[in-house]
Amino acid sequence: MVTSTTFIRVRYGEVDQMGFLYYGNYALYYEVGRAEMIREFGYPYSNMEKDGVVMPVVKMSSKFLKPVQYDQLIRIETTIKELHPHPFMTFHHKLFNEENTLLHLAEVTLTFFNPLIQKRVDMPNKLKEILATHFQ
């Protein structure tokens, strides 16, 4: 298992009339968590894309526990609990406020895809090597 933590402040343009994070914007926060985790591995999405692989979402579920509110500093914990048979990867996300209250849970599964040939492909070898150090 490997976990990464990043922070994001809820901006005015991301909330609804009640001052709560608009439900469609939660997926943006999941992506922030995933992108930062991959970057911490030393293989950011931009490099993966240069290698001809993108990661589209194939499944997403979320549980709203308490509202995420305007101007809160949110801690995003992103975890890979296990490795799937390739070509899938699941990220587990938890959102906390500054008081360490758990606000939201999500699970997002992505696949590896080559946009040039329009086909699913295996996980890039570089990412396999990085993850192998965390899952032995």
Catalytic residue annotation: 16
Please give the Cα distance from 111 to 131 (Å, whole number). Answer: 16
Peptide bond into 56 cis (omega under 30): no
E strands, the chain, in order: 2-9, 57-64, 73-80, 88-96, 102-111, 113-114, 119-120
Which of 34, 39, 16 is closest to 107 using CA atoms? 34
Phi, psi of 28 (to 5 degrees): -65, -35
Neighbours of 21 (CB within 10 A): 25
